[in-house]
A and B are shown apart, each in its own frame.
Chain A
Amino acid sequence: MNTMTAKATPDTAAGTRESGEIRLVGVTKKFGNAYAVESIDLTIPHGSYCCLLGPSGCGKTTILRMIAGHETPTSGEIFIGEDMVVGKPPVERGTAMMFQSYALFPHLSILDNVAFYLKMRNVGKEERRGKALEMLERVQLDHLKDRMPAQLSGGQQQRVALARSLITNPKVLLLDEPLSALDEFLRLKMRGELKSLQDELGITFVHVTHTQPEAIALADMVVVMDTGRIDQADNANTIYNRPKTPYVARFMGGQNVLTGTVESNAGGAGTLKSEAGSTFEVKLNDSSATVGSKLSIAVRRDQVTIRRGDEASSVGANSIAGIVEATEYQGSYVKVTLRAEGDEFVANVSDRAFFAEPVETGDPVVATWNPEDIHVLSKVDTGGAGDSYLDGGH
């Protein structure tokens, strides 16, 4: 992408663009009686790379489409920069959207696809083709300008779609699962190119994905969604290391969620006891965790060590006993899945440590961690316990 800086952005629109900050205030979208998005508040800073992350049906695409102007919120306000944009067409919003299927017009050459926006603004044929060619040079596809979309590979089609969006000189680029149609190799390559493109343009990117590594690798800001609500919006590192809720911890992967009852709380040093009797030492910053209440904690899979343990009685604090269900070699580490206290518990053991003392399916083991690696979640896990009345205390 070294030709990128050589050509200036064609100032087809207002020239210099104002802020691409996106602000959603109390945005709700209902389809019939079902809430796709329920009362969302979210601010995406100008010039950031934001990933909306969640399973399918969580409402992330609906949010993107409402920002783009392809869906109208049932209630609430959407601001881009200073403007309230609800009801405005995309071009007036300063947004451009890249569709999941790319939606390149099959009857137009690549050059005319990129020039489409200028044609709609009655720019003369020579001028718009010249500008479209410049844009194609930026994505290094100028040599294919006369091809039809059907003749291009998936990666090339995506670059054309990018060029077609960028020629509108947007302050916000909206990407709907842009990498999902590509194979693994291209996906990683395009992921890098998207990131460097965003760095270079300095405009706001909003990228919808259901793939956690994609979000973590790209985003300055990750917004994790669950059935129409935002569970957590933070930078990637915080989302991954300090998930707020059991849902985020589970969805991001890489974490084990444990739940116990507070046994003691002496000036921040507390002890939890699980239903099966294991004890976990935790640092309790807030004093709301009173003795007898339930609390969920998370520990990263790669901060767990395992050893063979024959007797359950030998299990000390900050450890849990279980039976190996599966081992999966991942190259640099081995993923060891345990069944412990009725739940799944995963330890990612470095390959050196694993092969020094290998375990096999069916072996009884003890998983141990350091108490400082424990992270307290703000909600009690209701995944399996069924103590729903304890949920929502915060």
Chain B
Amino acid sequence: MSSASPSYGSRPWTFYVLALLFTLFVIFLYGPMLAVLVLSFQGPSASLVFPLRDPSLMWFDELFNPRRTGDVVGAFNRSLPLALVVMVLTVLISVTAGFAFRRRFKGATLIFYTAIASLIVPGLVLSIGTIVTFRYLGLSASWNTSGLGAHLSWALPFGLLIMFAVLGRLNPSYEEAAYDLGASKWQTVKEVVVPIVFPGMIAVALFGFTLSYDEFPRSWLTVGSKNTLPLEIWTMTTNVTSPALYALGTVTTIISFLVIAIALSSILFIQRKRSRGK
């Protein structure tokens, strides 16, 4: 080794290989999204492929004043409240379940794995199972009953896993310090634990919302006769052959990004406030 020339930090060949790999990854990740975004401004030629001719907003107009497309606005008016309800329920249930699991109880591991196992059940199968069960019980499927349940079976285990990670890092001495200073159990939760884990709760909310808002397989048979947004898009891909499809893609992506931006900026805001003071 003594004969080796000294190195001043020149990059090994693996750096370039991995950089190339990463570039490809980023192109693959955002390329399709960009293509859809650009083509949603297609002109009256109504071509579904590049190049972009006579850019216009006509397909966005088509989306909100449907003549040939399906009921996009109606689907959105179902998807948004459904996603919000799933979000609220996921936060409530994951947080309280997370607290319950902090103190080890009998059968905790079994219950945990039972809750997590629904993650590996294929969504389409779960969708079929739900509708079959509802029919057997004489209930009719609807987005706000069977649809909601199917979405929760997907969002809850994620929420629970996140809460486990968040509460696992919570030093128990915070709770003991609160107890030491005369706080009741409820005061400890309200004044100490919830404020400390609040960024984690926002993360759970974000997951609950986006998992429901984007969900296709578990919605397939469970939402009844009225479609949610992903189902509506899928229907359109088979019926509609106009750039209105791209316009819809652009709008839904923007909504998803907005939700993520709001969630992340509120987490950042809380953390800044804590590290900088008032």
Contact = CB atoms under 8 A, between A and B. Distances in A.
Interface residues of B, number: 25
B274 interface: yes
27 contacts: A70-B180, A89-B179, A91-B181, A95-B180, A96-B180, A96-B181, A97-B176, A97-B180, A99-B173, A103-B173, A103-B174, A103-B176, A103-B177, A107-B195, A107-B196, A107-B198, A108-B195, A109-B278, A116-B178, A120-B181, A120-B183, A120-B187, A120-B191, A121-B182, A146-B277, A148-B275, A165-B180
B277 A106 contact: no
B106 interface: no
A151 interface: yes
A90 B180 CA distance: 5
Given A107-B195, A117-B181, A150-B274, 14 more contacts: A90-B179, A90-B180, A103-B171, A103-B174, A103-B177, A106-B196, A107-B198, A109-B277, A109-B278, A116-B181, A120-B182, A120-B184, A168-B181, A168-B182
A90 B182 contact: yes
A interface, over-half SS: loop
What 4 A-B pairs are tightest by C-beta distance, nearest first? A103-B177, A103-B173, A91-B182, A107-B195
A105 interface: yes
B177 A148 contact: no
A330 B277 CA distance: 45
Given A70-B180, A103-B177, A105-B174, A119 B191 contact: yes
A80 to B, nearest CB: 14
Interface in B245-278: 270, 273-278
A164 interface: yes
Interface in A105-137: 105-109, 116-117, 119-121
B192 interface: yes
Nearest to A71: B176
B interface, over-half SS: helix
A223 interface: no
A17 interface: no
A168 B182 CA distance: 9
A74 interface: no
Contacts of B191: 116, 119-120
A147 B275 CA distance: 8
Contacts of B176: 70, 97, 99, 103
A377 interface: no
Contacts of B179: 69-70, 89-90
A68 interface: yes
A70 B176 CA distance: 7
B81 to A, nearest CB: 31
Interface in A56-70: 68-70
